[in-house]
Amino acid sequence: MGIFHSLNISSSALTAQRLRMDVISSNMANIDSTRAKQVDGEWQPYRRKIVTLQPKEGQFASFLQVAKGTHTHGSANGVAVTRIKEDKETPFKLVFDPSHPDANEEGYVQMPNVDPLREMIDLMSATRSYEANVTVLNANKSMLMKALEIGR
């Protein structure tokens, strides 16, 4: 493990949480978008997007450590965003509004499957994770600075 390993882990987590906050913001911005994507000539409402995170694996250094037998289980390389997927499990909300241009024959409009309460909870979680990683990053930086002061 190098001197900057912990800083790299924290920075990867900061990047991932920032992307997560951006996706949540996009979900909130499109909460009323009834024409987000055209499928077979029909407009579809916006579908909520979800960020999937997982530990970083498969870097050359980790393979080298395994080959040398110095790899310790639980030694992480940070976090990575594996994909941003659409939430296809949650159905669209039906709202009765016969005057809406996208209303069907019965007067119902398909609205996006974005729940503002869920998005706010996810945003608070991402913000707290971001803040925790900033705290870890600052603690690591402080320890590195103290280590440099020892050499004076």
Q: What pLDDT is recorded for position 55?
A: 87
pLDDT digits (tens, 9 = 90+) for 44-54: 999 999 999 98
User: Average of pLDDT values for 113-133?
Assistant: 96
The residue behind tokens 């925790």 is: 132
Residue 144: pLDDT over 70: yes
Q: What pLDDT is recorded for position 5?
A: 83
Assign 3-state DSSP to the chain and report helix, strand, coil percentages, each to 5: 45, 20, 35
Lowest-confidence range among 23-27, 57-61, 86-90, 132-136?
Answer: 57-61
pLDDT band at 62 (very low <50, low <70, confident <90, very high): low
Q: Which residue would you say has higher pLDDT here, 62 or 142?
A: 142
Q: Which residue would you say has higher pLDDT here, 5 or 88?
A: 88
* Phi, psi (rounded to 5 degrees) for 87: -80, 95
By the 8 A CB rule, do 36 and 47 touch?
A: yes
The domain segmentation of the chain, as residue ranges, is: 5-31+49-86+114-150
User: What pTM, to 2 d.p., does this model score?
Assistant: 0.81
Q: What pLDDT is recorded for position 129?
A: 95
Q: How far apart are CA 74 and CA 94, in angstroms?
A: 46
